[in-house]
Amino acid sequence: MIPSILPTYNRAPLTFVKGEGSWLTEADGRRFLDMGAGIAVNSLGHAHPDLTKALVDQAHSLWHTSNLYNIPKQTELADALVSQTFADTVFMCNSGTEACELAVKMARKHFYDAGQPERTEIIAFEGSFHGRSAAGIAAAGSEKMTKGFGPLLPGFTHLPFGDHEALNAAITDKTCAVILEPVLGEGGIIPVPDQCLKGLRDLCDATGTLLILDEVQCGVGRTGKLFAHEWSGIAPDIMMVAKGIGGGFPIGCVLATEHAASGMTAGTHGSTYGGNPLGCAVGVAVLQHIADTDFLEDVSRKAGMLRQKLEGVIASYPDVFECVRGVGLMLGIKCKMPNTDVIAACYDAEILTVPAADNVVRLLPALNIPDSDIAEAVARLDRAAQSLVA
């Protein structure tokens, strides 16, 4: 019999009832060190007092009015994002996949209104992930996500990752945009080299193509910059943000330049909940912490410390681990053993990690994880690895 919850997830037999900082308490009382942060969502850990206060204060005054009226917290969040980034304008939604929907619509509408309605095609990369909506799965294109769900949204071309010649050849006078994650998340924590991002930006500029960056996972301080593309010095035309910006409250947004957003006039897009006061109040509080030079420098320092300690564990268990890669606190350990075995051993050692493609175990801790918890995480990973070779 089908369970009451549609069985689209294979869940671990764990039930968390309380969270605090980087720790989660299981129903049976065990305390797990959370190195997954709800898949890069709980950017300031669980139950951060400032986020709780922002949410509760807003809840006491006003929950929802709709986008028929001005929403002060939405304006505050949009202003903060515009002042901190390349963007001139922001649309608020509720998830990463919704951000993908708008990014695709915005790119196509831009060229439609610019008198080039034939420019509808979008180039994406194999191994990427852009969410589970119809546009999201068509954009990523992997059979795992698309099989059985056809006909797919047309207009996407998929290229192998890192093939500049193929990219050069693929951009035509029908191309409206290129979409990619500066650091592939689900694909196995694969950073796109700065040179590739620069080359891609140049190619987009030369052809008038819009560059869409999906920073749903790698954005909002995760790599030690507010947004991952900042490391390369380039800027996108359109950017998708979600996960970490809400710190656990479901919000997403699309950031864009005035040029890219030119077609998005009144009535062309909308969302009932997007930009809701509760979510935006939390988003403002999250940004107040993360969009800060000292905070971001500390992310890099913590990341360096975690990475160095991880190298030691990896070297100690060559039959379990192969290497570590990633940027900032977005790290992937490529495994020799099946990553699912490693993650299960981690559960036994009471530490939470997240799988990714290419046999990778992801570490995506809270960005403010205390140094002592980093040391504890490495000790627990060591214990998990030990149990696999014993």
- Which residues would be at the binding site for ligand PLP (CB under 6 A)? 95-97, 129-131, 181, 185-186, 214, 216-217, 242-243
What residues pair up with 191 in beta bridges, in sequence order? 183
220 or 384, CB closer to ligand PLP?
A: 220
Q: How far is the CB of 109 from ligand PLP (least distance, A)?
A: 21
Q: Give whichever of 217 and 359 is closer to ligand PLP, judged by the CB atom.
A: 217
58 vs 95, which CB is nearer to ligand PLP?
Answer: 95
CA-based nearest residue to 357, from 125, 186, 191, 218: 186
Q: Shortest approach of ligand PLP to residue 251 CB, angstroms? A: 9
Q: How far is the CB of 323 from ligand PLP (least distance, A)?
A: 22
d(C-alpha 53, C-alpha 47), whole Å: 10
**Rounded Cα gap, residues 289 and 285, in angstroms:** 7
- CB of 216 or CB of 331, closer to ligand PLP: 216
Residue 129 or 156: which CB sits closer to ligand PLP? 129
Closest distance between ligand PLP and the C-beta of residue 263, in Å? 23
Tell the smallest beta-carbon distance from residue 20 to ligand PLP (Å): 24
Q: Which is nearer to ligand PLP, 94 or 359 (CB)?
A: 94
- Minimum distance from CB of 223 to ligand PLP (Å)? 13
Separation CA 249–CA 269 (nearest Å): 22
Closer residue to ligand PLP (CB): 55 or 139: 139
What is the Cα–Cα distance from 243 to 232, expressed in whole angstroms?
22
Shortest gap between Cβ of 18 and ligand PLP (angstroms)?
Answer: 24
**Measured distance CA(136)–CA(97) in Å, rounded:** 6
HSE of 340 in the Cβ direction (CA atoms, 13 Å)? 4
Rounded-to-integer distance, Cα 364 and Cα 283, Å: 19
In terms of CB distance, is 22 or 97 closer to ligand PLP? 97
DSSP 321-374: EEEEEEETTEEEEEESS-HHHHHHHHHHTTEE-EEETTTEEEE---TT--HHHH
Question: 33: part of which helix (H) or strand (E)?
Answer: strand 31-34
Which H or E run contains 19? strand 16-20
Q: Give dist(CA 136, CA 99) in Å, integer.
A: 9
Integer Cα distance of 22 and 364 in angstroms: 11
Checking 335-342 for CB contacts under 8 A at 24+ apart, the result is 335/359, 335/360, 335/361, 337/388, 341/388, 342/384, 342/385, 342/388
The residue sitting closest to ligand PLP, measured at its beta carbon, is 96
For the bound state, the minimum distance from the C-beta of residue 39 to ligand PLP, rounded and expressed in Å, comes to 7
Radius of gyration from C-alpha coordinates of the chain: 21
Considering beta carbons, is residue 190 or 281 the nearer one to ligand PLP? Answer: 190
Tell me how far, at minimum, the Cβ of 319 lies from ligand PLP, in Å. 30
